[in-house]
Each structure stands twice: as structure tokens, then as C-alpha cells.
A and B are shown apart, each in its own frame.
Chain A
């Protein structure tokens, strides 16, 4: 698994490190901490961002005793230019750990990095003010969640979800997505709700939906995760999701073959991230 952590120098970014560390430790993921500076100052990495990445790295490794993480610390003084406007420094360990700074427009650079490294998950924090904001570009989290090809976890500042509602695609549920949800449930000791979609409009039949949910239920029950299940009619989905976001974290499966991707427009994903009361997870 490859995790890209998009960071800036704000407190909402620093706050996600604790969650990220646990996730990386539990999944033995390759980790890249990425910051983006504007292209005009591209002669050397921005000192504020170097400091922020260094501080976040310190926090990342401080969560665990030496040797417990499969990652090695990178030297924040050792940023090397790899291509014009891109600098990185990596630690040595069983799994990759890289601090990276790219120059350019933040959304474009984050998406480009995720694409180039074939990341499975992008994690970013956001300020809770006015929905979900980033300093450099106010609606960056929404746009990343909307446009990324991989899964995206947006963690809202200071809001720990008590429950997680998962609208998982019934036609195809990957092992990775189930595992990712399981990790996040464990991370927050949250309650898990699995929602299956029913109704016409190209959705699988109720029997097929139930069969898939039975498999999911068995998966989580075996892992001792209390899982509530519910069938939601396609017509009621938007209303249901709106309510679920008020109460906790929502996870939506939006893979290419997903039926949810057809039901939810891209703009709605952005809206969901903005209006959600706590974190949002878009599974792809």
C-alpha cells in the first residue's frame, strides 16, 4: 500500500499525523509526505515547508518506539533536487518514507504525485471553518477528493468520528477497501454501518445486494467489529448520506465500476466533503 500525505504548514495538517502514523504502522504502507510551494520561488525548497515537513516527520516517528515502524527517518537537511522544482529526501527502512516538495499549483501537483507514485490513498487534513478549507486554495480538499484516481481520506480538524457509515458498492467490493475501512474503524474505535443500495436504475437485485452484504458482515464480524447494516433505496440515498454526514464519517465507494459513481455526480463528492460533520473517505 502507498500513502500520500498532502501537508501544508497549518495546524490542521499537523493534527492528522497521529492518525496517519497508526494507519501506516498497521498497513506497513510506503509513505510520502508532500508539500507544494508556488512555482515562482523554485530555486530551492521553501524553508517554511521544510520546517513543517520536518516537524510532522518528528511527530510521525515520536508516536512509536524505535524499531516498531518499518520506516526510517529522512534527513530534513538533505533535500535533493530530482527534477526542476521537485526536491525530496528519503529514509532507509523496510518500507519507503519520503519527504517531498513540489513546485506549482497545489491541486495539480498533489494529483500528479499520487498518479506518478501510483498511490492507493491520499490523506489530507482541513480546517473546520466554513466546511473544509485549505489556506493556499480554499476548496483544495474537495477538489482532491473529487478528481483523484485513488482513494482519498479528508480528516477534519478536531473532529473524531464516533461512527462510520460506509456506502459500499455492491457489485464489486475490493479487499483493500474493506481493509481500509477496518483500519479507520479501529483507529477511532468507531461504530460501523454498512449501507447497501437497492432500487431500480441499473442497481443489482435485492438478493444480490444482500448476498454481498452478508459477505461484508462476515468479514467484519470475524474481526470483532460490530457492524450495523441497512438497505437504502436509491431514491433516498442523497438524503440518507446528508444525514449520515451530520452524525459521523462517511465512506463512499466510487470505483470506476461503481454504481455509486453513476448516482453521485462529481460535484456532489465535493459537497459531501465540505458539508460532512467529520472526516470523509472516498474509496476508489
Chain B
């Protein structure tokens, strides 16, 4: 059983995330907990204390709960939810991190809407929530419903970290698994190079997966721009890599990939 925390709001990104979670629950044994944080501007805080403050907080909490109820009702998701949604008030990142720490989750899920600015993805990755989250993070950019999973290796990916965490989450699922080693190159079109171009990385990854009972259907070396690489990933239901700690080709590829991203620690 994978304990997953889904961060929701009443918006497009959450609508996509929720529908994707519903699909994911058909592949994985998920126990889903929803969290929603009502962020309050400084000026909006209740000035009082005691009963006045508690009443104000209750009002804000009720408004948040109503928003999530509306979202769940609109989306009509078909997956079992662990308990009533948790509604927190205050700083978004702090509240979610507190929940993650307190109840030890295996997976954190959040929806985002891709933008034309790669910098928006960098900003997201650099938030306190993402830099401090200790469990694997699933960023849902689009609703891509299939069982094709791509594991991105190379460019700083620690296989000893990536594969055990991926296996922990996805073992037992019926997946069409593909290994990709991405090489940045400005070509007119995306090229598929010989596996040897990846050195021993792909072979090592294949071996580790096999040891865990997973057999990739293919291993490829992709060579092209991050936009071309991202386009290749547009047909895949999940792209998996480790959390990028620096700007580089892999970060750019992840920013350009429209597929949902699972980032392991």
C-alpha cells in the first residue's frame, strides 16, 4: 500500500491531478489523502484571539473544505480516499511539509499547468516544498492515461536512489517500461543513438530493474534539444527521474516534458 498525499486547490491543475490519481489507483495500490491549504494574506488575519480567532479560522477552514468538496463533486473521481480532506490554514509549503512529516507518506502528488516559460518550472522545483520534501514527488502536468513509463537516466541521476524508490512505488503494476538516456544536442530532429553512447548506465539500470523483477521493453539514447526530448515524452503516462538539483539538460528536459513526472530523492 502506497500512502499518497495529494495537494489540491479548486483549479485546473488540481482537476488534472485528481483525475490522474484516479487513473494511477487502477495501476497501484494507493491510499490517498487530500490536503488543501488556505493561504491567508497578512492583512486577512483575524486581529482577535481566543473565540474570535477560532471562529474566524473555522470560517476559513469551512470555505476550504467547501472548495475541495466542489472539486471532488465536479471531477467525480473513482478512487478510494483515505479520510476526510485535511484543511490547513497558513503558509502553503509549511503546512504541506508538516503533514508529510507527521504522517510519513510514500508519495506526494501535485498538479501544475505547463507554461511557455521554462523558468516557471525552475521556480517550482526551488520552492521550499519541493526542496524539503523527503518522499518521491509526482508532478502532474497533463492527463495522459496509459501505462507507458519512461525512466530517465544519466546527467547526474543516481541509479541507486532512482530504481529502489521507483520499484517501491510501482512494483506489481502492469507497466510498459522504457529506459532513456538523454543527451543534449541541437539537432534538426530527435536522434536515437546506439545504447553504447550511454556507457554502462543503461546496462546497469536494466540489471537493477531485472533484479527487482521488472523488465524494460526498450533502452534508448535520445539526442536532441530539450524541446524535442519533451515532445518524445508527450505520449508517456509517467516519466521518472531523480530530483534535479541543478539547472542543466535534464532539468530543461523535465521542464519541457508534458508528461506527469515522478521525481525520486
A166 CB → nearest B CB, Å: 14
Chain A residue contacts of B42, Cβ below 8 A: none
Please determine whether B235 and A230 come into contact, CB atoms closer than 8 angstroms. Answer: no
Asked if residues B115 and A232 are in contact (CB atoms below 8 Å), the reply is yes
The answer to whether residues A214 and B15 also contact, given A231-B113, A233-B115, A247-B231 and a CB cut-off of 8 A, is yes
Within the assembled complex, what's the spacing in Å between the Cα atoms of A233 and B118? Answer: 12
Contact B12 A213 (CB under 8 A): yes
- Interface stretch, picked from B100-108, B142-150, B154-162, B168-176, is B142-150
Q: Is A66 an interface residue (CB 8 A)?
A: no
Distance to closest chain A CB from B245 (angstroms): 26
Interface size on B, residues (CB 8 A): 20
Known contacts A230-B116, A231-B116, A233-B115; decide if A210 and B143 are in contact (CB<8 Å). Answer: no
**Given A210-B12, A228-B142, A236-B116, 14 other A-B residues pairs in contact with their CB atoms under 8 A:** A198-B115, A210-B13, A213-B12, A213-B113, A214-B15, A221-B19, A227-B143, A228-B114, A228-B144, A228-B258, A229-B113, A229-B114, A233-B115, A233-B117
Within 8 A of A (CB), among B131-146: 142-145
Instruction: Return A86 CB to nearest CB of chain B, in Å.
Output: 48
Q: A73: which B residues are within 8 A, CB to CB? A: none
Chain A contact-residue range equals 20 to 34
Q: How far is the CA of A243 from the CA of B226 in the complex (A)?
A: 13
State the CA gap A210–B15 with chains docked (Å): 11
Nearest chain-A residue to B15 (Cβ)? A214
| Cβ-defined contact, A221 with B12, below 8 A | no
B253 at the interface (CB under 8 A from A): no
CB pairs A–B below 8 angstroms (23 shown): A191-B234, A191-B235, A210-B11, A210-B12, A210-B13, A210-B113, A214-B11, A214-B12, A217-B16, A217-B143, A226-B145, A227-B143, A228-B114, A229-B12, A229-B16, A230-B114, A230-B115, A230-B258, A231-B113, A231-B114, A231-B116, A233-B116, A236-B117
A230 lies within 8 A of B15 (CB): no
Contact A221 B113 (CB under 8 A): no
Chain A contacts of B19 at CB under 8 A? Answer: 221
Q: Is A207's beta carbon under 8 Å from chain B?
A: yes
Q: How far is the CB of A192 from chain B (nearest CB, A)?
A: 11
Please indicate the chain A residues that have their CB under 8 angstroms from the CB of B116 in the complex: 230-233, 236, 240
Question: Shortest distance in angstroms between B141's beta carbon and chain A's nearest beta carbon?
Answer: 8
Q: How many whole Å from B79's CB to the nearest CB in chain A?
A: 16
Would B144 and A226 count as touching, CB distance under 8 A? yes
Interface residue? A51 (CB, 8 A): no
Q: Which residues of B contact A226 (CB under 8 A)?
A: 143-145
B15 → chain A closest CB, angstroms: 5
**Distance in Å from the Cβ of A230 to the closest Cβ of chain B?**
5
Q: Per a CB cutoff under 8 Å, which of B117, B142, B145, B231 touches A229?
A: B142
Q: Is the CB of A217 within 8 A of B12?
A: yes
